[in-house]
């Protein structure tokens, strides 16, 4: 293979992986948009006095990495928007699991 042919195939390879990355990001953005809509809907279903608490939880959650959330959940604490930081009473929470599965 000539040097030029090799250079071209390298560029093609890089373009290919960039396209994959763009597709991945597009799907990620779509998932985030869906989640945003879902959360807005969920927030509307929460009684008014709890809305501020849920918003505060969502803000706290943004600063916590996924690994730490997993760890927190395994240690027996909620990581969902509704009960963030509170002890898991039944050892399990559907909201937390949905939240952790999401990423």
Contact between 96 and Zn ion by CB under 5 A: the answer reads: yes
Buried b (16+ CB within 10 A) or exposed e, 65-97: eeeebeebbeeebbbbbbbbeeebeeeebeebe
Q: Report the site for Zn ion in 65-94 (rule: CB under 5 A).
A: 78, 80, 83, 93
How is residue 88 annotated by DSSP? P
The least distance separating Zn ion from the CB of residue 96, rounded to whole angstroms, comes to 4
**What character string, x for contact with Zn ion (CB under 5 A) and - otherwise, covers 23-62?**
----------------------------------------
Closest residue by Cα to residue 72 from 51, 83, 35, 50: 83
Distance CA 58, CA 10 (A): 44
Distance of closest approach, residue 29 Cβ to Zn ion, in angstroms: 26
Q: Please report how close the Cβ of residue 4 comes to Zn ion at its closest, in angstroms.
A: 58
- Chain contacts with Zn ion (rule: CB under 5 A): 78, 80, 83, 93, 95-96
């Amino acid at each position: 293979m000539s040097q030029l042919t090799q250079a071209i195939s390298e560029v093609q390879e890089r373009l290919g992986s960039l396209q994959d990355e763009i597709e991945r990001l597009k799907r990620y953005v779509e998932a985030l948009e869906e989640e945003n809509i879902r959360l807005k809907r969920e927030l509307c279903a929460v009684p008014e006095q709890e809305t501020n608490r849920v918003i505060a939880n969502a803000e706290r959650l943004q600063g916590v990495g996924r690994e730490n959330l997993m760890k927190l959940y395994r240690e027996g604490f909620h990581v969902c928007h509704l009960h963030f930081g509170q002890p898991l009473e039944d050892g399990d929470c559907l909201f937390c699991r949905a939240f952790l599965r999401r990423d």
